[in-house]
Amino acid sequence: MNIVVCVKYVPDATADRQFESDNTVDRVGVDGLLSELDEYAVEQALQLKEKAGEGTETVVTALTIGPEKAVDAVRKALQMGADKAVHVSDEAIAGSDYVATSLVLAKAIEKIAADSGSPDVVMCGMASTDASGGVVPAMLAERLGLPQVTLASVVETQGDQVRVKRDGDTATEVIGGTMPLVLSVTDQSGEARYPSFKGIMAAKKKPLETWSLGDLGVDAGQVGLAAAWTTVEDTTARPPRTAGEIVKDEDGSGATALTEFLASKKFI
């Protein structure tokens, strides 16, 4: 079985995230890391491999698109246990929207397929923690002509059959599909493992390739800020909320003050 897991390098959500003057996300000035939500995808990919067992050869390839430092994202995936990694990096990609990102991911997956066999599962996170659109997996499925089984909180497989559970907006559902498919998993799917010392050492010897747009046959004019199908006109920091009134509860005074406040704002 072949599994490609798409992982994104994102600015740390707990840091002070910013935009550049051209309204693109600042991916250099702010510390980045493998998106926490994609760790769940790596975990589920590794669990699929482990479940397939020793007899079947399963290759998990971690794939990222991003600036130079984005290699950290696939390195971490290798440390967790992925077998191979691909980092697509090209100046021209900077500022790409979902459409261009999904194009480059699709082309990279096609190249991985040509080099080492078609993926049975393209695994994604539920959303990136920066853009948080949650749309790249669906776009990827559309481009690759594959079904999508998304937002899984529980993943089960039997042969080429995939069954997942998901908490929809109005119902809890069981979704089924047949490989090959695009699968995305939520942060309910199970804690991601930490890289072990052994894993960290082993990762250093695992294959890690860096591809440019040229390697993928993608024209630079198809990607990047200028080619985006959407444009950001303005980014404004939300004015910090002005600190409100804070009272200490003493012998029930807190409840009374709270009730007074709610009444003064006409919530009662």
Partner 1 sequence: MSEVLVLIDHVDGAVRKPTYELLTIAKRLGEPSAVFIGPAARAGGADGVTEKVKQYGAEKVYVVDDAQIKGYLVAPKAEVLQQIAAQALGNGGLAAILIPSSAEGKEIGARLAIKIESGLITDAVDVTADGVATQSVFAGNFTLTGKVTKGTPIITVKPNSAAPEESAGAGAVVEFAATISDAAKKAQIVASQPRQATGRPELTEAAIVVSGGRGTGGNFEPVEALADALGAAVGASRAAVDSGWMPHSFQVGQTGKTVSPQLYVANGISGAIQHRAGMQTSKTIVAVNKDEEAPIFELVDFGVVGDLHTVLPAATEQIVKRKG
Ligand X SMILES: Cc1cc2nc3c(=O)[nH]c(=O)nc-3n(C[C@H](O)[C@H](O)[C@H](O)COP(=O)(O)OP(=O)(O)OC[C@H]3O[C@@H](n4cnc5c(N)ncnc54)[C@H](O)[C@@H]3O)c2cc1C
**DSSP secondary structure letter of residue 22:** T
Spatial CB neighbours of 91, under 8 Å, sequence gap ≥ 6: none
Identified binder of ligand X from the candidate list 12, 20, 187, 209, rule CB under 6 A: 187
For the window 131-170, what string marks contact with ligand X as x by the rule CB under 6 A? ----------------------------------------
Between CA 182 and CA 37 the distance in angstroms is 16
> What phi and psi values does residue 258 have, to the nearest 5 degrees?
-65, -45
Minimal distance, residue 88 CB to ligand AMP, in Å: 8
Angle of helix 71-80 versus helix 36-52 axis, rounded to 10: 40
Bridge partners (DSSP) of residue 61 are 4, 84
Look at residue 207 and give the partner it binds from ligand X, partner 1, ligand AMP, none, a contact being a CB closer than 5 to 8 Å depending on partner kind.
none
3-class SS at 162?
A: strand
Q: Is 209 in the site for ligand X (CB under 6 A)?
A: no
How is residue 181 written in tokens? 């498919």
Q: Is 137 in the site for ligand AMP (CB under 6 A)?
A: yes
Of 182, 146, 176, the residue nearest 161 (C-alpha): 176
Helix (H) or strand (E) run with residue 124 in it? strand 121-125
Q: Which is nearer to ligand AMP, 79 or 148 (CB)?
A: 148
How is residue 244 written in tokens? 């409100």
Could you say which residues in the range 105-134 bind ligand AMP, by CB under 6 A?
A: 105, 124-125, 127-128, 131-134
Q: Which is nearer to ligand AMP, 166 or 243 (CB)?
A: 166
Look at residue 254 and give the partner it binds from ligand AMP, ligand X, partner 1, none, a contact being a CB closer than 5 to 8 Å depending on partner kind.
partner 1
3-class SS at 109?
A: helix
Helix (H) or strand (E) run with residue 184 in it? strand 181-185
Minimal distance, residue 16 CB to partner 1, in Å: 9
Q: Is 12 in the site for ligand X (CB under 6 A)?
A: no
Q: Is 8 in the site for ligand AMP (CB under 6 A)?
A: yes
Q: Is 213 in the site for ligand AMP (CB under 6 A)?
A: no
Look at residue 38 and give the partner it binds from partner 1, ligand AMP, ligand X, none, a contact being a CB closer than 5 to 8 Å depending on partner kind.
ligand AMP
Could you say which residues in the range 18-77 bind ligand X, by CB under 6 A?
A: 36-37
Confirm if 176 and 157 have CB atoms less than 8 A apart.
no
Look at residue 52 and give the partner it binds from ligand X, partner 1, ligand AMP, none, a contact being a CB closer than 5 to 8 Å depending on partner kind.
none
Site for ligand X, rule CB under 6 A: 36-37, 187
